[in-house]
Structure 1
Amino acid sequence: MPDEQWDALFTALRSDRDRALASLVISNASRASEVLGIRCGDLDWGEQVVRVRRKGTGAEQWLPASNDAFVWLRLYLDSIGPLEPSDPVWWTLRRRRRGDGTPARQPLNYDALRAVLRRVNDALGTNWTMHDLRHTCARRMLRDRNLSLRDIQTILGHAHLSTTQLYLEEEPEEVIRRVHQHLLALKQTEPAINAVPAPARGYDAADLAVLFGEVPRHHDQ
């Protein structure tokens, strides 16, 4: 996901909860099931790390998160009231009536999370998924020379380094974007073309002038 697309997605999110959740995933590449399983006791505000339970193995692992993610988490949690350490972090924003008739929030599940992304995709005309956020985080880490492939493997929770290496494959759109930037940078440093070069034998000077943009071509009427 290009940075400008991430900015558009983030701007389209409607609540502090959704901004907190997206900011968390884009900063530590946690899977959907892992981030939804986070409980209040899994948040370390001082160290700015969160504890997840890895998909498949259930192993607990602390993952770093960005300062922005913790800011949005604070705003979101302040808005829903006090929670116990064993309570889930993520709750529905709307209260539903329980069996006794009292309204209450429900823990956010995968279907509700997909509905959040579906609304954003409908607004933007895109088709982003939670895995795209995880993939984007991984690609950002790969571009950082301070992080080794083993570091990224640990954060992604891959059992094998070969799985992490799959993220090294470049998206064609990203390659094209970078090459366009490269060509633009070259154009800005190249000297301006002030004159049409002398024609080689067999080439008409007038045709070369048209080719290099010096004069317009006049068509026969």
Structure 2
Amino acid sequence: MPWLVLDPEGGPVEPIRRYLYDFSARNRPGSVRSYAYGLLRWWRWLRAVGVQWDKASPAEVRDLVLWLRAAEKPRNSPRRTSAATAGKFNPITRKRNLGDGYEPRTVRHSNSVVRSFYEFWIEIGEGPLLNPVPLDRRGRRPHAHHNPLEPFRAEGKIRYNPKVPRSRPREIPDEHWKDLFGAMRSNRDRAILALDISCAARASEILGICGVDVDWGDQLVRVRRKGNDAEQWLPASPESFVWLRLYLAELGPLDLNDPVWWTLRRRDHGDGLRRHPMNYDALRAVLRRANKLLGTNYTMHDLRHTAALRMSRDESLSLRDVQTILGHAHLSTTADIYLIEDEAQVIRRVAEHLAEREDRARQPLPPVAVGYEAADLAVLFGGLPR
């Protein structure tokens, strides 16, 4: 088992262990870790309220949701420089910084984890009769109009899920992108950003690239998709390959099956000083240093959004092309996220409309035709048209 939840005596919690054993056979290790932490929170909550796991009711789920919405997240170290900006909007990027409390998406994920856990035990007949995480069906019969040619899907939403406001994709403007790229301190960091802004891959997919996954002739990189681990070749910009070549020249000989991205500093972990493969925490540190210098709060996922929005506005690319590059399973996912009106363009057009109205209001009224009285026309039509 890649992850386990331990009891106070140091032994594995058997109900969670059996669930994660089944869950790990169907999902990636990263998902197992996320679900294990969600069940750890649920187990601590049941211990705090004095309820056995197979005796839990919707009341315990409701109270946990209320507690998560009011509590502060535990932190390994107290906030220092970010204490004044937690939960507030950045004036440059106009993005909200994460606060000290649990976000609505975290609460929704917690509910999904607990519901999945009890669905497993109800299915094998060793759990409670009813799932303590109920669904709101609003009085409709489940699968009332089901198409027999399509598979059954879960209907209804979890009752105590908080609403998540829909937000538009976070795009980095061109002038801010130049500042962010200029804040990089090594050819490795420049290569990562240039590669990500051109191929729109996720951060974990970029970090998983090996030497054999780089096609220098056709300027392609092969990534392994986050959801299904499928391999896919993505085109990248010539500029990104220039920075990649400069970085590899500094790194030295690289085996084709070795990761492309390595730490710049050599560290001793008991086997002598040597470089280590770059992980997600090291990549976050690169962005954190740049954000501190620029006063921004950009993330690697902002680069993916920026690349996708650039492609969606290109008339030579279809929406199906964008879907393929992003690796979305459904075309509707790409359309719902990226087929939106650019907010900056809307503001510009509305401002031009208001300015044009002001110009028309300052122009003199046209003369009235012979035989008509201007006052009579104003009463009849409510003022002469401009």
- The 3 A distance-change label for structure 1 pair 175 and 89 is farther
SS in 1 for 2:229: coil
CA distance in 2, matches of 1:99, 1:163: 47
CA distance in 2, matches of 1:151, 1:160: 12
1:42 has 2:247 as partner: no
1:146 has 2:316 as partner: yes
Considering Cα pairs closer than 8 Å and 6+ residues apart, tell me whether 1 or 2 has the greater RCO: 1
CA offsets 1:15-50 (integer angstroms, 9 cap, x no match): 100100000010010001100000011000000000
- The 3 A distance-change label for structure 1 pair 104 and 170 is farther
1:122 has 2:289 as partner: no
Larger Rg: 2
- Tell me the residue number matched to 1:105: 275
- Tell me the residue number matched to 2:329: 159
1:132 to 302, 307, 317: 302
Q: Partner letter of residue 129 of structure 1?
A: T
CA offsets 1:110-142 (integer angstroms, 9 cap, x no match): 000001001111111111111100000000001
Q: TM-score, normalised by structure 1?
A: 0.80
1:135-214 equivalences under 5 Å are: 135-165=305-335, 166-170=337-341, 172-173=343-344, 175-176=346-347, 178-179=348-349, 183=352, 197-198=363-364
- The 3 A distance-change label for structure 1 pair 199 and 58 is closer
- The 3 A distance-change label for structure 1 pair 84 and 128 is same
- Tell me the residue number matched to 2:175: 4
- Tell me the residue number matched to 1:24: 195
CA distance in 1, matches of 2:231, 2:224: 4
Query: Is the CA contact 1:40–1:88 (under 8 Å) kept in the aligned structure 2?
Result: yes
SS in 1 for 2:218: coil
2:225 to 36, 48, 54: 54
Length, aligned pairs only: 191
Q: Partner letter of residue 33 of structure 1?
A: S
CA offsets 1:140-196 (integer angstroms, 9 cap, x no match): 0011100000000000000000111111224534643x548x84xxx9xx9xx9xx7
How large is the Cα RMSD of the aligned pairs? Answer: 2.4
CA distance in 1, matches of 2:296, 2:311: 24
Query: Is the CA contact 1:2–1:174 (under 8 Å) kept in the aligned structure 2?
Result: no
SS in 2 for 1:147: coil
Q: TM-score, normalised by structure 2?
A: 0.46
Measure how far apart 1:103 and its partner are. 1.1
Measure how far apart 1:199 and its partner are. 7.6
SS in 1 for 2:209: coil
SS in 2 for 1:99: coil
Q: Partner letter of residue 136 of structure 1?
A: T
Same amino acid, percent of matched pairs: 64
1:68 has 2:229 as partner: no
CA distance in 1, matches of 2:205, 2:283: 13
Q: Partner letter of residue 13 of structure 1?
A: M
SS in 2 for 1:94: coil
- Tell me the residue number matched to 2:99: none
Unaligned runs of 5+ in 2: 1-171, 367-373, 376-386
- Tell me the residue number matched to 1:80: 251
CA distance in 2, matches of 1:27, 1:64: 8
Q: Which 10-residue stretch deviates more, 150-159 or 1-10?
A: 1-10
Query: Is the CA contact 1:96–1:103 (under 8 Å) kept in the aligned structure 2?
Result: yes
